[in-house]
Amino acid sequence: MARIAAHIAVILTAAALPGGAAVALEEAAPIGDAERGAELFTDCVGCHQVGPEAENRIGPHLNDIFGRRAGAIEGFPYSEGLARMGADGLTWTLETLDAYIENPRALVSRTRMAYPGMESAGDRADLLAYLRQFSASPANIPEAEPTAIVREVDLPPEVLEIAGDPAYGEYLSAECTTCHRRDGASDGIPSITNWPEEDFVVAMHAYRQEIRPHPVMQMMAKRLSDDEIAALAAYFARID
Amino acid sequence: MTLDRRAFIGTTAAAAATLAAPMVRAQGRPRVVVVGGGCGGATAARYIAKDSEGAIDVTLIEPTRTYYTCFFSNLYIGGFQEMDDLGHGYGTLAADYGINVVHDWVTAVDRDAKSVTLASGGALPYDRLVVSPGIDFVEGSVPGWSVADQDAMPHAYKGGTQAELLKAQVMAMPEGGRYAMVAPPNPYRCPPGPYERVSMVAHALSQVNPTAKILIVDPKAKFSKQALFEEGWQKHYSGMIERIGPDFGGDKVEVDPAAMTVSIDGMVEKVDACNVIPAQKAGRIAHQAGLTEGNWAPVEPDSMRSKKDPNVWVLGDATSQGDMPKSGFSANSQAKVAAMAIRGELTGSAVFPARYSNTCWSLIATEDGVKVGASYEPTEEKIASVSSFISDTGEDAALRRQTYEESLGWYSGITSDMFG
C-alpha cells in the first residue's frame, strides 16, 4: 500500500513541476522484508547456517553469498553440477539466487540441494533480503552487490511526451559535470558541451543498451528516461 | 594553484562581502551557512549560490585558505602529482558566485538560536545550516598511537602536510628497510585508499629502494578492489608487499612511536616508516552540534537532512546514510541533492527526486588504473545501492591507461565542480 502511495506522489509531483518537467521513471525499493525472511529461513536451517558463528553443514554457510562464485568455498563437497556451474562463471547475485531458490534443479542440473523450490516471488524476495544482511556492505566495499532494486513506475503518457526541456537538463547535468567539464575542457574525459542534440541522444541510448561499452556511462544512461536524455541533450547543446 | 592573483582578489572580495552581510540580511534574503569547505561543503555552497542567482545569502566557513584534496594525495606519494596541483583556493567561489568565504573555525553551533560561533569571537545566524566536517580519528583505536604521534607515525588521511611528511619518511628509509601500514576498520574514508597508498609507496620505493619491504597490518578480512590490487602487486611489486589479516593477528595491533615498533598479536616488529590509519568518526563539530549517534551523523536518505534537526544538513564522510562509501565523489553527489532541497525550502524552486552516484579510481602502478562505482537511490530506510561495476582482473594495458587518464579528467572535473 505504501508503495502505491509513493507512485501516486511521484506522478503528482511531476504534474506540479514548473515547466512540466518529467521525473525519474524509477524508484528504489528494499529487496524485501528481512524480518519475514528470517522466519522463512527456518525452512533452510536444517542444512544451512548464516551469521557470525555460521559453519558449513549439509549445505555450505551463506555468509557473503552475494557476489560469491558458485561452488567457491574451499573444501566443501559440492555436487558436480554446482561445481561445474561455478567453473562456467555462475556468480550468486539477487537474480541468480532468486532463480535458484525458485527451482534449484532448473538452474543447476543434479544439484544436491534437495529443496523443492519456493514458489512465491514475494517470499523469495523476503528471504533474500534477510540473507543480504550477511554479505558485504557497499558502504565498505563499493563493488558489493546492490541492496535495493529499482522498480519501474508507470507514468501517464502526457508526462512521457514532454521532451528536451533544457532547464530540467540543467538540473540533471549536475551528475554529468562531476566528470565532464561544463567549459568543454577535455583531458581524460571527453567534452559533451555543445554536442548536436541528435548525437547526444543516440550516444546515450547506445550506452543504455550496452552497445557502447563504458561501465560508468552505461550505469548513468540506464537510469535516465527518454525525456531525461532529451532534456540533457537540449541543455548541453545550448551551453554558451 | 597557490595564492595567485585571482585567488587573492577573490579572498579580498569575500572579506568585503562578509562585512556587508548585516545590511544584506536586513533586506531579508534567507541565509545558509556552510561549515567546511571540502567536497561536500564547497559543492553545496557553489550550487546553492549559483542556482539561487543571488536569492540566498551563502556563507562558507573553512579554516584553511588553500584546500589540499585528500583524493590524489596517494598519487603525490607515488610521484605522479605535485602537491601544489592538489591545492585549491576559494577565490572563485567568492568573486564569481558571491559566496561569503570566512576563513575561521566554528567552535560551537547553537541549534536553538540557529547560530554558529566562530573562534575569532563572532557569531553567524542561519536559516539553514550545512555541516560537512569530514572525519576525525577515534582516540585509542590503535593502542599506543594518538594524534600527538602523527609526526612520528603519520596518518596522512587528511590532505596536505601529512601526505608530505609520509612521503619524506618513505624516501628517507634505509636501503632494504621496512614500511608498515596499520589499516583502518570499516567504515572509513575512501575504501580503496589504504591499498592505493600501498601501491604508490611500492612504486616510489621500487624506483629508489627496490629491496625495501612493505607490511600491511589489517583488521579486515577483505577490502575493496582486493583481487585487482593483489593482482597488480604480484605483477609490479612481486615479493615486496606482505599483508597480515585478522586470521593472523592483524586485528591485534599495537604501536610504539618512540621505538618505531609495531606489535602484531604480541610479536614486535621494527619498522623504518609507519603509516597509522586509525578508526574514524565524524568531524568534531558534528558531535559538538549534537548531530551524531555514535560515531556518525544520521541523515534522511532522500535529502541528506539531519535526522536530529530539520534546519540542518550533514554531508559526506561524517554521515551515516546507508550504502554510499565515504568518498569525495559521494560528498559531491550528496551536496547537489542537499543544495536542491535547501533551495526548494527557501525559495520554492523545484525539488526533483534524489539520485546519487559514486566512482572511485585507484592507481596501482604507472598507467595501471582501476575503478569501482555504483549508483544509489533513497529508500525509506537508507540510501541504497541499486547497481555497481568494477574493473576486471586481466584487463589489457590500453584499457588500464585509459582508466588512469579518465581519473585525471575526473580530478579536473570534480575540483572545478567544487571550486568553480
Domain ranges of chain B: 5-136+281-349, 144-278
According to CATH, the superfamily of the domain at B144-278 is FAD/NAD(P)-binding domain (3.50.50.60)
Helix-strand-coil percent breakdown of chain B, rounded to 5? 35, 25, 40
Number of Cβ pairs < 8 A linking chain A and chain B: 160
Residue A151: per-residue pLDDT: 55
Distance (Å) of CA B208 to CA A228, B154, B158, B212: 52, 21, 26, 9
Stated as kind and residue range, the H or E segment containing B371 is strand B368-378
Q: Which of B323, B337, B347, B419 to mutate to test the interface with A (most CBs of A within 10 A)?
A: B323
Distance (Å) of CA B214 to CA B191, B229, B370: 19, 14, 21
Looking at CA atoms only, how far is residue B325 from chain A in angstroms?
4
Q: Are A193 and A184 in contact (CB under 8 A)?
A: yes
| Length in residues, chain A | 240
Q: What residue type is A207 in one-letter code?
A: Y
Looking at CA atoms only, how far is residue A32 from chain B in angstroms?
12
Looking at CA atoms only, how far is residue A120 from chain B in angstroms?
23
**Touching A: B residues 34-53, CB under 8 Å:** 47
B25-70 tens-digit pLDDT? 445 899 999 999 999 999 999 999 999 999 999 999 999 999 999 9
Residue spans of chain B under pLDDT 70: 1-27
Nearest residue in B to A141, CA atom: B224
Looking at CA atoms only, how far is residue A172 from chain B in angstroms?
9
Rounded-to-integer distance, Cα B186 and Cα A203, Å: 39
Instruction: Decide if B384 and A183 are in contact by the 8 Å CB cutoff.
Output: no
Q: For residue B355, give the nearest of A175, A183, A216 by CB distance.
A: A175
Domains detected in chain A: 34-139 (1.10.760.10), 156-237 (1.10.760.10)
Nearest residue in A to B403, CA atom: A188
The verdict on B385 touching A (C-beta cutoff 8 Å) is yes
Q: What residue type is B192 in one-letter code?
A: P
Contacts of A185 in chain B (CB under 8 A): 412
Instruction: Decide if B385 and A189 are in contact by the 8 Å CB cutoff.
Output: no
Nearest residue in A to B409, CA atom: A188
Residue A15: per-residue pLDDT: 34
pLDDT tens, chain A, 240 aa long: 233 333 333 333 333 333 333 333 345 789 999 999 999 999 999 999 999 999 999 999 999 999 999 999 999 999 998 998 898 888 999 999 999 999 998 888 889 999 999 999 999 999 999 999 999 999 999 999 999 987 543 444 444 455 789 999 999 999 999 999 999 887 888 889 988 887 788 778 777 777 666 889 889 999 998 889 999 999 999 988
Nearest residue in A to B375, CA atom: A219
Q: What residue type is B286 in one-letter code?
A: A
The answer for residues whose C-beta is within 8 angstroms of residue B222's C-beta and 6 or more apart is: A136, A141
Looking at CA atoms only, how far is residue B173 from chain A in angstroms?
32
Nearest residue in A to B192, CA atom: A141
Closest CA to B70 of B189, B152, B229, B167: B189
R_g (Cα) of chain B, nearest Å: 22
Rounded-to-integer distance, Cα A217 and Cα A210, Å: 9
Sheet holding B128-131, edge to edge: B100-102, B57-61, B31-35, B128-131, B312-314
Looking at CA atoms only, how far is residue A141 from chain B in angstroms?
5
Helix ranges (DSSP H) in chain A:
2-16, 34-40, 80-88, 94-102, 104-107, 121-132, 157-161, 166-176, 197-208, 215-222, 226-237
According to CATH, the superfamily of the domain at B5-136+281-349 is FAD/NAD(P)-binding domain (3.50.50.60)
Contacts of A223 in chain B (CB under 8 A): 355, 375, 386
Same fold, B5-136+281-349 and B144-278: yes
B391-412 tens-digit pLDDT? 999 999 999 999 999 999 999 9
Report which DSSP code applies to B316.
Answer: G
The verdict on B366 touching A (C-beta cutoff 8 Å) is no
**Touching A: B residues 150-189, CB under 8 Å:** 186-187
**What ipTM score was computed for the predicted complex, to two decimals?**
0.75
